[in-house]
Structure 1
Amino acid sequence: MNSEYIPVMLIENLLYADQYAIDGIAPHSASTLDDAIKLATAELLSLQNQQGYWVFELEADCTIPAEYILMMHYLDEIDSVLQRKIAHFLRGHQNPDGSYPLYKGGPGDISCTIKVYYALKLAGDDIQSPTLHSAGEWIRHRGGAAKANVFTRIMLAMFEQVPWRAAPFIPVEIMLLPKWFPFHIDKVSYWSRTVMVPLSILCSYKVKARNPSKIGVAELFLIPPDQETHYFSHVKTPLGKAILLLDRLGRRLERFIPDSIRRKATAKACDWFMARLNGIDGLGAIFTAMVNAYEVMDYLGVPVDDPQRQIARAAIDKLLVVKGDTAYCQPCVSPIWDTGLAALTLQEVDRHASDPHTRQALQAALHWLAGKQLRDEPGDWQIQRPSLAGGGWAFQFGNSYYPDVDDTAVVAYAMLQADDVKYAGNIQRAAGWIAGMQSRNGGYGAFDADNTHYYLNQIPFADHGALLDPPTADVSGRCIMLLGKLAVRHLEYGTVVKDCLAYLRAQQESDGSWFGRWGTNYIYGTWSVLYGYEAAGIPRNDPSIQKAVLWLKAKQRADGGWGEDNLGYHDASVRGEADNSTAFHTALAILALLSAGETDSREVETGVHHLLKTQRADGFWRDDSFNAPGFPKFFYLKYHGYDKFFPLWALARYRNDRYAADMRPAATA
């Protein structure tokens, strides 16, 4: 056995050998399983912050660190030491063919590759260096920089590399449109609002990057940018083409907009995003929105030493991860989500093995989470639900305008499982808020209700197809996890749960799986729903559950694990499949099967065996793959905590269910 793994299969020490041996695979001894759980638990506890929370790195593709370098040159605020470290990081993530992918192991993406190329050139790399030469060849072979997506072309326009007609028309006057108009900022997702409002100012005034070295990327174009006429060739649908005509008409008419109207719209946009700057956590608590807001502050002449501007920059810099001679920038941080999931994991660990250190860690985590609940703070969700009282949790350390439905369900459920009366008020407020955020179709979005104006994904700006926050199965599964459990004693949630279950049944794929919007992918979605079904008390012989069980079992790999690639977001025929098993997907599949009552199944047993044999000497597991989308098909993430707490959760749940089964009275004749 590889020396980096702990000795989990000591045959001479195995218990239950006759009872659980399956197809020649040695069973797991209680002591060996306990040792694996204890080792992982100790390591997880050691990573808890003194304040009670956990926060793991949240890594995106190379677009974000490249944009950090671009931001420094846009503003002429260049930290050469930091730039060198980010450039070193970028060089190390190139595909062998010269491209840069959206997730590790994925195919090259032209927009990501263009941004990295430009960032490295700004950082001083020569275009004949191996990195830039191969990247440039790859870009040109795929049509050149004119084929970049909308966000990349806006960046190129700001750096004066393409004309502004290469970018969509985003006039700041959108702030003055009435709510009944086909487009209104309240009709798009929270992340779209926070990005678009400051961006509309930059685009309306055609703000130019300072670019002190006057570095360009003309070599990446096959046709000179001023002569290119096919910047929007990706628009194919009749509705999209009609909207594109309106976009072009609007650009022609822009010069007739009175200065007074533009000033009024600009003031409204500034008031909107300045009210939501969110202190040290930044606008929307997401990188792109923060950068846009910071660049607008610079354009408006806010001095560098202004306290508000300094805080806005500090919020961006808080996203940096610096390790020795490398650095990268996160898109946001995930402490509420990480802490909620870590708490659920440790509650499972401690269910039948009370440990004072684990209990103390759980108390500290829940106490910290209780203090982060949003109550009377204003939020954009109140536009859709003006009479609804607050009670949610954000995803990040602070994001008061945008509580997260998913995080709220997880945190409140952890508090519910703690069975501590001091959290009764937190749970009640959270449950009431979640119930009120239900969409008309019975499902739940992540931040908004009824955010389903799908025609808006046809506008030129929305070539990423992620302008909206519609209901999804994974978030809905978490909501019935909480409300279904509460509905036993709180009948007012009965209708909400019933409607959500109907939505989930309608969302089940023909093969039995569910789509995973916020985690990769169908294994994640199926776990989310089955866990919710179990908490809501759905009988395990329900046809919907049994169909999902068959799908999960069919997707188990020969090594006993499960794996799923982000390719499934692009090609549904490979859903639930990957070249390699991961600890994350194996854990989710085991947890899903255990929720469905499959404790004694061969698939669960071999899945547990896989986790035990791949546990590392430090008690954790290591998956190199990206495990979640920010936007399916366009933006992917790696939650660095997922290969740490999910496998531990699965092992603890298996041990506890196995123990419970052994404690059942034997059947009598």
Structure 2
Amino acid sequence: MRTDISSLIPKGHKFRLSRQAAQLNFIRLDSAYTGPFYSPSTLDSAINQAKTQLISLQNQNGYWVFELEADCTIPSEYILMMHYMDEIDEALQTKIANFIRAQQNPDGSYPLYKGGAGDISCTVKAYYAMKMAGDNTGAAHMSKARDWILARGGAARANVFTRIMLAIFEQIPWRGVPFMPVEIMLLPKWFPFHLDKVSYWSRTVMVPLFILCTYKVKARNPHHIGVAELFVTPPDQETNYFAHVKTPLGKTILALERMGRLLEPLIPGFIRSKATVKAHQWFTERLNGYDGLGAIFTAMVNAYEAMDYLGIPPNNERRLIAKEAIDRLLVANGDTAYCQPCVSPVWDTGLASLALQEADCHERNPQTQQALKSALRWLAGKQLTDEPGDWRIQRPNLPGGGWAFQFGNSYYPDVDDTAVAALALAQSEDREFIGNIERASTWIAGMQSKNGGYGAFDADNNYHYLNHIPFADHGALLDPPTADVSARCLMFLGKRVARHPEYRPVIDKCIAYLRNEQEADGCWFGRWGTNYIYGTWSVLIGFESAGVAKYDPAIRKAVAWLKSKQRDDGGWGESNHSYHDTHSRGECNTSTAFQTALALLALLSAGESDCSEVEAGINYLLRNQQADGFWKDESFNAPGFPKVFYLKYHGYDKFFPLWALSRYRNERFSRLL
């Protein structure tokens, strides 16, 4: 039992546990945390409770998959799709509309993430979807949304994807959207724009969209619902749809687009037919069964609607499967429902496995070991080896060996997921997985970009001028290398280099890239997780794996930055606002279990297990553990596209805190037993 001497401590005094005091359950009075303390048994209990609960959520097939929530754009688009196709499920529509209404900000707008500022494009789609669902435009929530939209210039100021939707529903003229003729499919590879030069998500979304835009398709819209009330200037009179194009390069491309639109009638019919056939064949080859085109919602919907336009009948097997793939993204909870942008089983299973491996590295609990064995075998079975993939465009001679993010996405293995899944297999030390690990190592090493970094799906996808085209107002047309993905590759390959020195040049080049990417204040940007705390965690874990010395100046600078961002309650938090304003990086109004866990893991990897900041962070996690053994973060914790689209991984507040507590226990209390 812990010796309770808190009554002897002057009120407000700051103190911490030393290594020796932790062993004796005493408290030293000389550091920066004020709050309750714990014994080793308290820590063990918290870990065991979280571990047991996590295992209870494992699917019988071995994987974990948690909800992946986005803003109201995706559920709104699901309702709009039903009206486009005239395939309206009234009961489902009601549930989705209930969900959308509940996400509205007090000012009437809809944010891109919980607690965020309103976004005009999201608000326009949410308003239109609610009106489709039967909401009266005079209702208070509709009036507030409409007033908010009009105060910001009206629906004409919405982004490109929203304006394309409005054009399809005949709410704006087609001149209000970028010119994207299907003939783009016939452009040679040397041309400044080519499909091979954009990211995987851009390809899968754009190809069926070329068909929809070229033929100016019209939504069935059986109830003839419009949103003329959302425009300040009547759509036919609006002349400023492309106000977002401001750079000289962008304006030049816009002028060329307008010239192309004028010349469109001169395109020979056989050329248009040839391009249409090529586009159809391209996305048909990648329909991906029940997992859908690209395994992402927007691409699936575009393909489904394009199939309808091309005359593929409703009872066609491929069309039925394409619709089923979309419906599998739905999540229903009582009288509400929403649609996920995709699913994340490989990512969730890989990270959950790493957390459980850390939690069980000394105990070897039979239940945990069985859960891990089942998870790792499931992961091993999901590795992509000989399947065709667009990544072969850059690496035609590289053998397969990656993992996708979703249940199935054979054309698009994910470098990040591959590193996590392969590390989990490698840490098991089970000879059953040697082949999987070797293939993953070769594949990851071969996907390195020339600058030493790694993109998520492609190598050397650095055609930054393409982000100036009018279509790319989201600024996410490409998949360039990023620090977080690169660090994950370092995390895996660093574990391999002792036995495989052939990876040393790859590792050294990646370390050099990451050093160059470090911000002046010591942190790293997080492309795929919020944000600088996530990026800094990624790199410090990678550096540890690669053997970078703990006293390295880059690590010391990162440690100082992390410590400076700790909140008074002992936790860490960071808002997605840091993508919009870098002055707010590493900061938030509240701490979160997820980001506290990341900060702790980063500090522990840097050799900071004895510092007061780590002890305060551990106390934060222990104090905020829920009765069910998990933690509860309300915030969105990752971007899909920074500044444009954000996500909430519902598993992050479950396995990351478990991982952090376990790593801490293994670092400190195992030495005291």
TM-score (normalised: structure 2): 0.96
Aligned pair partner of 2:96 in 81, 86, 93: 86
The one-letter amino acid of 1:200's match is F
The one-letter amino acid of 2:569's match is D
1:563 aligned counterpart, secondary structure: coil
Asked whether the equivalents of residues 347 and 405 of structure 2 are also in contact (C-alpha less than 8 Å), the reply is: yes
Report the counterpart of residue 425 of structure 1 in structure 2.
435
Residue ranges of structure 2 left out of the alignment (5+ in a row): 7-20
Report the counterpart of residue 9 of structure 2 in structure 1.
none
Aligned pair partner of 2:537 in 527, 542, 563: 527
Distance in structure 1 (CA, Å) of the matches to 2:580 and 2:24? 44
The question of 1:146 aligning with 2:156 is answered yes
Report the counterpart of residue 444 of structure 1 in structure 2.
454
Distance in structure 2 (CA, Å) of the matches to 1:10 and 1:30? 14
2:668 aligned counterpart, secondary structure: helix
Aligned pair partner of 2:650 in 619, 640, 646: 640
Report the counterpart of residue 619 of structure 2 in structure 1.
609
Report the counterpart of residue 26 of structure 2 in structure 1.
18
2:467 aligned counterpart, secondary structure: helix
Distance in structure 1 (CA, Å) of the matches to 2:64 and 2:426? 20
1:327 aligned counterpart, secondary structure: strand
Report the counterpart of residue 406 of structure 1 in structure 2.
416
The question of 1:545 aligning with 2:555 is answered yes
Asked whether the equivalents of residues 57 and 64 of structure 2 are also in contact (C-alpha less than 8 Å), the reply is: yes
- 1:15–1:384 CA distance, 2 compared to 1 (3 A): same
Q: Percent identity between the aligned chains? A: 70
The one-letter amino acid of 2:545's match is A
The one-letter amino acid of 2:398's match is L
Aligned length, in residue pairs:
657
The one-letter amino acid of 1:133's match is S
Report the counterpart of residue 171 of structure 1 in structure 2.
181
Asked whether the equivalents of residues 527 and 592 of structure 1 are also in contact (C-alpha less than 8 Å), the reply is: yes
Asked whether the equivalents of residues 444 and 470 of structure 1 are also in contact (C-alpha less than 8 Å), the reply is: yes
Mapping of residues 169-318 of structure 1, within 5 Å: 169-318=179-328
2:244 aligned counterpart, secondary structure: coil
1:245 aligned counterpart, secondary structure: helix
Distance in structure 2 (CA, Å) of the matches to 1:440 and 1:484? 19
Aligned pair partner of 1:68 in 61, 71, 78: 78
Report the counterpart of residue 109 of structure 1 in structure 2.
119
Distance in structure 1 (CA, Å) of the matches to 2:662 and 2:267? 64
1:24 shift after superposition:
4.9
Distance in structure 2 (CA, Å) of the matches to 1:340 and 1:431? 16
1:130 shift after superposition:
1.4
1:14 shift after superposition:
8.5
Report the counterpart of residue 557 of structure 1 in structure 2.
567
Asked whether the equivalents of residues 3 and 26 of structure 2 are also in contact (C-alpha less than 8 Å), the reply is: no
The question of 1:134 aligning with 2:141 is answered no
The question of 1:124 aligning with 2:124 is answered no
Distance in structure 2 (CA, Å) of the matches to 1:9 and 1:51? 46
Distance in structure 1 (CA, Å) of the matches to 2:101 and 2:648? 19
- 1:254–1:11 CA distance, 2 compared to 1 (3 A): farther
Report the counterpart of residue 666 of structure 2 in structure 1.
656
The one-letter amino acid of 1:46's match is S
Asked whether the equivalents of residues 290 and 325 of structure 2 are also in contact (C-alpha less than 8 Å), the reply is: yes
The one-letter amino acid of 1:548's match is A
Mapping of residues 327-366 of structure 1, within 5 Å: 327-366=337-376
Asked whether the equivalents of residues 23 and 672 of structure 2 are also in contact (C-alpha less than 8 Å), the reply is: no
Distance in structure 2 (CA, Å) of the matches to 1:8 and 1:557? 26
Asked whether the equivalents of residues 56 and 334 of structure 1 are also in contact (C-alpha less than 8 Å), the reply is: yes
- 1:29–1:211 CA distance, 2 compared to 1 (3 A): same
Distance in structure 2 (CA, Å) of the matches to 1:571 and 1:158? 34
1:17 shift after superposition:
2.8
The one-letter amino acid of 2:588's match is A
Aligned pair partner of 1:155 in 156, 165, 175: 165
Aligned pair partner of 1:479 in 470, 486, 489: 489
Mapping of residues 504-523 of structure 1, within 5 Å: 504-523=514-533
Distance in structure 1 (CA, Å) of the matches to 2:657 and 2:242? 45
The question of 1:377 aligning with 2:387 is answered yes
- 1:219–1:26 CA distance, 2 compared to 1 (3 A): closer
Residue ranges of structure 1 left out of the alignment (5+ in a row): 1-6, 664-669
Deviates more, 1:7-16 or 1:97-106: 7-16
Asked whether the equivalents of residues 76 and 210 of structure 1 are also in contact (C-alpha less than 8 Å), the reply is: yes
The one-letter amino acid of 1:129's match is A
1:305 shift after superposition:
1.0
1:11 shift after superposition:
7.8
Per-residue CA deviation, residues 540-594 of structure 1 (Å, 9 max, x unaligned), is: 0111100000000000000000000000000001100000000000000000000
Distance in structure 2 (CA, Å) of the matches to 1:165 and 1:634? 23
1:489 shift after superposition:
1.2
The one-letter amino acid of 1:243's match is I
The one-letter amino acid of 1:115's match is K
Distance in structure 2 (CA, Å) of the matches to 1:515 and 1:405? 18
- 1:387–1:49 CA distance, 2 compared to 1 (3 A): same
Per-residue CA deviation, residues 515-536 of structure 1 (Å, 9 max, x unaligned), is: 0000000000000000011111
Distance in structure 2 (CA, Å) of the matches to 1:349 and 1:320? 33
Distance in structure 1 (CA, Å) of the matches to 2:263 and 2:5? 79
The one-letter amino acid of 2:395's match is R
1:26 shift after superposition:
4.3
1:18 aligned counterpart, secondary structure: coil
1:630 aligned counterpart, secondary structure: strand
Asked whether the equivalents of residues 120 and 157 of structure 2 are also in contact (C-alpha less than 8 Å), the reply is: yes
Coordinate RMSD, CA, aligned: 1.5
